[in-house]
Amino acid sequence: MIVGVPKELYPGERRVAMIPDHLPALIKKGFEVIVQAGAGYEAGFTDDSYEAKGAKIAANRDDVFQKADIIVQVRAYGAEEKKGAEDLQRMRPGQVVVGTTDPLGSADAAKDLAEKKVLTFSMELIPRITRAQSMDVLSSMASVAGYKAVLLAASALPKMYPMMMTAAGTIAPAKVFVLGAGVAGLNAIATAKRLGAIVHAYDVRPAVAEQVESLGGKFVELELDTADAQDSGGYAKEQGEEFIKKQREMMLKVVAGSDVVITTAAIPGKKSPILVTEEMVKGMSPGSVIIDLASERGGNCELTKHGETVVEHGVTIIGPENINSTVAFHSSQMYSKNIATLLALIVKDNEMNLDMDDEIIRDCLVTRDGEVIQPRVREIIGLPALQTAATSETKEA
């Protein structure tokens, strides 16, 4: 099996899907690896470093697609909406594509991939189970985003985070409020606390209060019915408009008293819920900062503009564009580990291992044999449920 690592096409994308340090383990398992020249350069990995670990360097992108059995990408077709169609033309029947594809937000792209008769594994659909933690791209990238969000806010805030005793008087610590205590939120809490800020956090799932407090944050209690706030995978569930309205009313005072608000409530394939209204922004002190990590799906703040920094009512509101790419070295390191672990699962003895009884494979395999087979994706694009059991299809294959 030859694994191909092309350079990312998305404008400003500095990450790479596979780093040199993960190649020896793959090669030991029987893989060959071919890397497009310059693919890892912007993340800090030279062609020489890939060759030193056993990879072959391809002069151009066409060579990678022509020779590779498996293409691994950070943004594959679907998640790469600007130039991804170029790669679609390079794909051939039976080729395997592994990467983020935005399967729930750009579900129509799955039909194009099915027409090319490629096997598509969408990294965003890795289930949140213990066995899949080392493949969980959403969690690994969220950890980077949460960390970097705090640094972005620190750069924009006209205050310092820590309390300081100086000859010129005492500097009061900054107050940071984190909305959402998932992976991104918890990393934001930990980072802000390390920098010396007073940190408060809120999540619709009261079960995460202990995690917030273990990191030094204070969990904000709101008198809301949260009995149905968490799904079986541990993620926050989408709430109704009445719930969100009450939530906003109760958070008004907390937001107004914060120097920094970091929002993290993103729902794959759906518009982000508005948690911070214009009224809340008006209540914040001039110079305060909002970092909206959900901006790609519309944002948790009513005034967010994705990919832009705007100032409204004296408050700086930042909707980061591809925040993970700004920490390209370590983002690539984690993403590469996620990919390498999945490859070890789906390929056994140089043969594809499409065991549809395996929850991980079943959930993230989107297209196969010219068909969109992932149930959630089929539902989005209006296709009927497949009648034939996936397990029997696998045995016949």
Q: Which residues are catalytic, by number? A: 128, 133, 136, 139, 235
Q: From 1, 88, 71, 10, select the one nearest 35 (Cα to Cα).
A: 71
Token pair, residue 223, equals: 């008198």
Convert 324-370 into a string of H (helix), E (strand) and C (coil): HHHHHHHHHHHHHHHHHHHHHHHEECCEECCCCCCHHHHHHEEEECC
Cα–Cα distance measured from residue 182 to residue 283, given in angstroms and rounded to the nearest whole number = 26
> What's the CA gap between 397 and 393, in Å, rounded?
6
Q: State the first-to-last Cα distance of the chain, in angstroms, to the nearest integer.
A: 18
In whole angstroms, how far apart are CA 73 and each of 35, 182, 274, 307?
11, 25, 32, 22
Residue 348 structure tokens = 């056994």
- Is 57 in contact with 375 (CB distance < 8 Å)? no
- For residue 161, which phi and psi values (nearest 5 degrees)? -70, -50
CA atoms within 13 A of residue 49's CA, in its CB half-sphere: 13
